[in-house]
Structure formats: structure tokens, C-alpha cells
Amino acid sequence: MRIFQTPRVVVSQCLEFEEVRYNGAVIPDKTVQRMKPFVEFIPVCPEVGIGLGVPRDVIRIVDQGQERLVQPKTGEDLTDDMVHFAKEFIDSLPDVDGFLLKNRSPTCGIHDVKVYQDSQHGQVIGKTTGFFAKEILSRHSGLAIEEEGRLKNFTLRHHFLTKLFTLADFRDVRQKGRSKDLQQFQALNKYLFMAYHPGISKKMGRVIANHEQKPIPAVFEEYEDLLYELLEKPPKAKANVNVCQHIAGYFKKELNREEKAYFQSLLNQYMEEKVPLSAVISVLSTWTARFQSDYLRNQTYFEPYPMELVEISDSGKGRAYS
């Protein structure tokens, strides 16, 4: 059984933790509930952090030549206070691996935060990123960063969790600062990294080889930049098929013709979105156990995060486990 490092995740405090939403509510969230036993959460409510009460009058982002954060009822401009709080909060953090934020919030939202024409009228003229989230993205864009609403989609959730636990593993390796641990990290993630981006994975291997004899801290820094680049987007379906074919190649002498034909049929069904990738991986895992392949058994591709975090349901948006 794989042993996972514990990721550190900054989370919007209104998600499962405290009744700090503008209306005094706490928001139930299934993903946060599932993650609690496996993750060290650092809850924060930026709006409470700048001194707004609970409950409180709503705040919104308005276009005044530039985006500003205002409270329509009081007319107060909270922009500078929020930017100052965000910078101080981020500066105070220990090494973290990710952020899980409330969607559409004028402070925490990442993708679809409404921009209003002014503070007194309800006309929406665009979409933007919340002020707290902007600071996070400017300082820690390489980490696992998501909104809770988007994690209802299985593909996005799988990518977020994979990235989160991979970065937690790397943080542990980086703290040790030893070349041998970095080499082992790359080896254990060989097929996971191949699925994400084989070209970048090869570059990472060359960095570890360190033919230029760079100092170890410089090697880790260069490797970390490439790791962030590699994990930026979820793998494509074709890349997963390529990896699964590579893994199946370990058993080509042991498998009979019917087993090989069945596996190819399964890959075709995955490409046609008739079965999830987990169905293909389940077969590979069975063969790994059957033929006693210790090398493959330890590959993170088979279990990039704890199985307890896997959910059967999906929003229906996008390929499951792709």
C-alpha cells in the first residue's frame, strides 16, 4: 500500500469550516469532507480578515477605469485593505501545496467573478478573478489551485488531487535536498509524468542527471519549475492510451491472444468515452499483481492519490478519469 505525504491546502473558510459567509452560512462540500482525513487544511476568509462582520453587506467588483472592490451599501472601497491582507496572509504561510477556493466570490473566485458597471446598479459588464485569488495566482500559480464548484467535474477533480498529492511528495523530497531522493521521485512517477507530458518528463530526467555539475539547490529549482509546467493541464486521452500500452508491454510474453485483444478493445472503448480510464488501469493493476512486477506496483500512475478520495458520480461534463 502506498504511503502518501499530507498536502497542505489553503481553503475558503466558508467551505465546511465556519459560518463566515456574508449571510452567516457555512457551505457543505462533499470534496472537502472527503479530503479532511488526508489533508492539512488552512482555512481563511479574506472578508472577515479585513474586518467585515458576519453577517455583512455584500461586496462586489466594479469597473472604475480599473477594477475596485467596493461595498455598495456603505460606499466603502475595500481594495487596498484586501490587497494588503492577501499579501500579508500569503507571506505568513508555511510551504503549501494547493488552494481550494469559493467560486464566484469577489475575493476568492478564480474564473467567473462578476464585474459590475458601478456599485449602485446591477449591470454586469464582464468576468474577472477575485482580489485574494489574484494575489495567489501571481505568487503561486504552479501549485494545485481550484474552485470548489469546478471539482464536481471528475476530470478536474482527478487532476487537482493528482497534482496536489504529487506536489506534497515533491515538497518532502525538496526538504530532504538529496539527489537520490529526487531520482527516486522521478522513477516512481515515470508513467504519471509520461501521461502528462513526455517531453517535459525527459527534460526533468536530464536535469536530475546534472551533467553540468550544478549545485543541488539549483537542480531542485530547475526541476521544480519543470514539474509545475508538466502538471499545468490534465493529460490527454491519447497520452493515457500510450502510457497504458507501454505498461501492457511488460506482459506481452505472458498474455495470451484473447487477453491482448480484450485489452485493445478496452483501450478503444476508453477513446470512444464508453468506459473510464479506471477500467483500463484496473486490468493493468491485476496483471501487475498476477505477474509480480514490483517496479510497476510502485508506480504512482496506478494510485496518484488515496483511493478513498475517488467518487463514483460525475457531473457529466468531460471525460471521466481522462
Distance CA 228, CA 248 (A): 28
pLDDT score of 124: 96
Write down how long the chain is. 322
CA angle 168, 173, 178 (to 5 degrees): 170
pLDDT score of 274: 94
Q: Which three cell numbers stand for residue 122?
A: 446591477
pLDDT score of 312: 58
Q: Return the amino acid letter for 277.
A: L
Per-residue pLDDT tens digits for 53-69: 999 999 999 999 999 99
Half-sphere exposure of 11 (CA within 13 A, CB side): 23
Q: Where do the domains of the chain lie? A: 8-152, 178-322
Q: Does residue 172 surpass a pLDDT of 90?
A: yes
pLDDT score of 313: 56
Distance CA 108, CA 90 (A): 13
Q: Return the amino acid letter for 14.
A: C
Q: How far is CA 234 from CA 87, 227, 238, in A?
A: 29, 13, 12
Contact present, 155 and 321 (Cβ < 8 Å): yes
CA angle 85, 87, 93 (to 5 degrees): 100
Q: Which three cell numbers stand for residue 230?
A: 508538466
- Cβ neighbors of 153 (< 8 A, separation 6 or more) are 314, 315, 317, 318
- Cβ neighbors of 213 (< 8 A, separation 6 or more) are none
pTM higher than 0.85, yes or no? Answer: yes
pLDDT score of 315: 37
